[in-house]
Amino acid sequence: MSLPAALRQALPLPEAEDWAARLAGLEPEALWWLSGYAAALAAARSGGASAKPTASAPALAAARATVIYGSQTGNARRAAEALAAALEADGLSVRLLRADAYPQRELAGERLVYFVLSTQGDGDPSDDAQGLIDWLEGKRAPKLPGLRYAVLGLGDSSYPKFCEIGRRVDARLAELGAQRALPRADADLDIEAVATPWRSQALVQARELLKTEAPLATVTPLRPNAAPTGTRERPALLELLGNQRLTGQGSDKDVRHIELDLAGSGLRYHPGDAFGVFAPSPPALVEAVLRTTALDGDALVEHGGESLPLRTWLAERRELTRLARPTLQAIAQGARDAALSNLLAPAHQAELAALLERFQLIDALRRWPVRFEPAELVAALRPLTPRLYSIASSQAAVGEELHLTVDVVGFGDAEPLRFGTASHHLATSGEGVRLRGYIEANERFRLPTDAGRDLIMVGPGTGVAPFRAFVQEREATGASGRNWLFFGARRFRSDFLYQTEWQAALKSGALHRLDLAFSRDGEQKIYVQQRLLERGRELVEWIENGAHLYVCGAQAMGRDVHAALLAVFASRLGGRERAEERLKGLQQEGRYARDVY
């Protein structure tokens, strides 16, 4: 990244180069904030008779649009960034903020706010939006008669509480007296089908509402001229260096350690980030779908401005292993099946959720035969989406490599077509294969800037991946804080992921404590949350002395661990209410971070 010429002239060469290096490592959100912050400093320091008048805080709020996002996997962040970029390109003043970075006291003075909010699982907010939503729905939220707002909700229609968070925020803002600038929009996994028209409408509304206000300053965000590679829109091609099975003989899981080569890609990542993999559907599954539907894979299908053979659509562009409500609706209509149509009714959401959890596309096509035209099948299926995997390495330790810990979905299933798309592709790829992917930054799951802070890491199964990166980073950079890991799996002998590495880390002092829970090794099933309860006194002691707490893994595990933490704090603080306040406080401080999926 090069600095503007004016700034290079204003700074000595060494300082300019230092600033360029620092800015190159910042995330887009930080650059947006910094550009506005610098403009505000310039206005404040201009002074003198020739200086432009400095706007008051209310005038600033009236002249701009604010975009607030809550994102778990990056989709809401990208949608919010796209809206902010469109507003800025139209000459409007805009600021972009993550929900947990938004100063809540400012909402009462805002004129126009756009909320882009994801719903995690079945009705839960993203971790970064939890505090804002609690405040909005609580007694301290102010009346908002002067606010115009619009909400874009992101979710997965496979869940009964589809886009629940967007719905709740939209309803609550109206209850507080704010006026809708646009009706709420709910986007399924095919996000742009809804987000693009919503963004266009939002731009029209912003022009209308802000057109009488003169912009306070023109700030050019620091962005590269050429579109970067290694993004979701332009994934990089990375060579596979290694593919090693981590689980041993007798395990009912196939967990792989994958190593990718970053040389020449320009990709950089931080411990806590994820890697998004674009993988084709297994050829056997594609052919099974074609046989079941009696369609010609070579038939050309035009959809969304592209014309491709049906086989290519199914292999590279459409979702075959994750069944969704819209697809079932198309099958029910085509098959004219009353029972399936009834299952799709709102009264049967729980039954539908169970079916979507159990069935894949091939199961549905076999259960409810339907005669699709090629274009109808393509339109009925959702776009193929990348799979995110927590990065299991630190570049400070491994250099130009990126490591993943991948659980092969469907391993051991009697139906060989039911493998997970990306996990199966990674597991069956050999050295030299080139994989398409990108870095998904996770600003909410970062190591503390104070290297002297202690870490408590809870990561059963493949949830241990980011903590391998954390420990590598802390050892490579000489961090003085202690590291405590809770790991759980089914069996010690076959499922203890990275066992030799953890043992070596304990011996070297890179890892200070290790608590294990194996659920199938004894008569009683032991899980990590039980170890947390057993170590409650030491756990609270570490946290009260400044430790940061991290949890990574499946959503169900995350809920169980959170419940265990509540119990631990409740027993020491005198009740559940105080325990809830303490955990919320830790989240707001950035000392309790979760990466659940």
Reported as a single tens digit per residue, the pLDDT across 470-503 is 999 999 999 999 999 999 999 999 999 999 999 9
What is the band of 219 on the pLDDT scale with cuts at 50, 70, 90? very low
Residue type, 158: S
* 418-426: average pLDDT: 90
What is the band of 427 on the pLDDT scale with cuts at 50, 70, 90? very high
Q: What is the DSSP string of 185-220?
A: EEE-SSHHHHHHHHHHHHHHHHHHHHTTSPPS----
Domain boundaries for CATH 3.40.50.80 within the chain: 455-596
pLDDT of residue 173: 97
Burial of 203 per CB tally in 10 Å (0-12, 13-18, 19+): middle
Are 297 and 309 contacting, i.e. CB atoms less than 8 angstroms apart?
Answer: yes
Identify the bridge partners of residue 148 per DSSP, sorted by sequence position.
Answer: 112, 179
pLDDT of residue 358: 86
Residue type, 66: T
The CATH number of 283-380 is: 1.20.990.10
The model's pTM is 0.80
| pLDDT higher than 70, residue 16 | no
pLDDT of residue 11: 44
pLDDT of residue 216: 41
Q: What is the residue whose two structure tokens read 């390495």?
A: 393
What is the band of 356 on the pLDDT scale with cuts at 50, 70, 90? confident
What is the band of 220 on the pLDDT scale with cuts at 50, 70, 90? very low
pLDDT of residue 488: 96
103-154 tens-digit pLDDT: 998 999 999 999 999 998 788 899 899 999 999 999 889 999 999 999 999 9
Which has the higher per-residue pLDDT, 357 or 481?
Answer: 481
570: helix, strand or coil: helix
Record the tokens describing residue 552, joined without a space: 């990574």
| pLDDT higher than 70, residue 58 | no
Angle CA 296–297–302, to nearest 5? 95
Residue type, 373: E
Are 580 and 486 contacting, i.e. CB atoms less than 8 angstroms apart?
Answer: no
* 379-403: average pLDDT: 95
| pLDDT higher than 50, residue 226 | no
Q: Which fold has domain 236-277+386-440?
A: Elongation Factor Tu (Ef-tu); domain 3 (2.40.30)
Are 517 and 487 contacting, i.e. CB atoms less than 8 angstroms apart?
Answer: yes
Number of alpha carbons in the 13 Å side-chain half-sphere of residue 73? 21
As a whole number of angstroms, the distance between CA 68 and CA 92 comes to 16
Identify the bridge partners of residue 306 per DSSP, sorted by sequence position.
Answer: 303
Q: Give percent of the chain above pLDDT 70.
A: 86
Which has the higher per-residue pLDDT, 211 or 146?
Answer: 146
Which has the higher per-residue pLDDT, 529 or 139?
Answer: 529
Are 428 and 241 contacting, i.e. CB atoms less than 8 angstroms apart?
Answer: no
Q: Which fold has domain 455-596?
A: Rossmann fold (3.40.50)
Residue of 277, 276, 295, 275 whose CA lies nearest to 286 = 295
pLDDT of residue 63: 73
As a whole number of angstroms, the distance between CA 579 and CA 207 comes to 46
* 515-526: average pLDDT: 92
Which has the higher per-residue pLDDT, 9 or 334?
Answer: 334
Which has the higher per-residue pLDDT, 558 or 54?
Answer: 558
What is the band of 560 on the pLDDT scale with cuts at 50, 70, 90? very high
* 413-437: average pLDDT: 87
What is the band of 403 on the pLDDT scale with cuts at 50, 70, 90? very high
| pLDDT higher than 60, residue 328 | yes
230-250 tens-digit pLDDT: 788 899 999 999 999 999 998
| 330, 333, 339, 341 alpha-carbon torsion, rounded to 10° | 70
| pLDDT higher than 70, residue 387 | yes
Find the farthest-apart pair of alpha carbons in the chain and give their distance in angstroms, rounded. 82
What's the mean pLDDT when you consider all of the chain?
A: 87
* 12-19: average pLDDT: 45
pLDDT of residue 578: 94
Residue of 449, 313, 439 whose CA lies nearest to 384 = 313
Please state which CATH class domain 55-210 belongs to: alpha beta
* 178-200: average pLDDT: 94
As a whole number of angstroms, the distance between CA 229 and CA 410 comes to 32
pLDDT of residue 61: 54
DSSP state, residue 318: B
Residue of 103, 61, 92, 99 whose CA lies nearest to 77 = 99
Element (H, E) at 45: helix 28-46
Q: Give percent of the chain above pLDDT 90.
A: 69
What is the band of 354 on the pLDDT scale with cuts at 50, 70, 90? confident
pLDDT of residue 23: 55
Are 513 and 485 contacting, i.e. CB atoms less than 8 angstroms apart?
Answer: yes
Domain boundaries for CATH 1.20.990.10 within the chain: 283-380
Domain boundaries for CATH 3.40.50.360 within the chain: 55-210
252-299 tens-digit pLDDT: 999 999 999 999 999 999 999 999 999 999 899 999 999 999 999 999
As a whole number of angstroms, the distance between CA 38 and CA 35 comes to 5
Which has the higher per-residue pLDDT, 37 or 360?
Answer: 360
| pLDDT higher than 70, residue 505 | yes
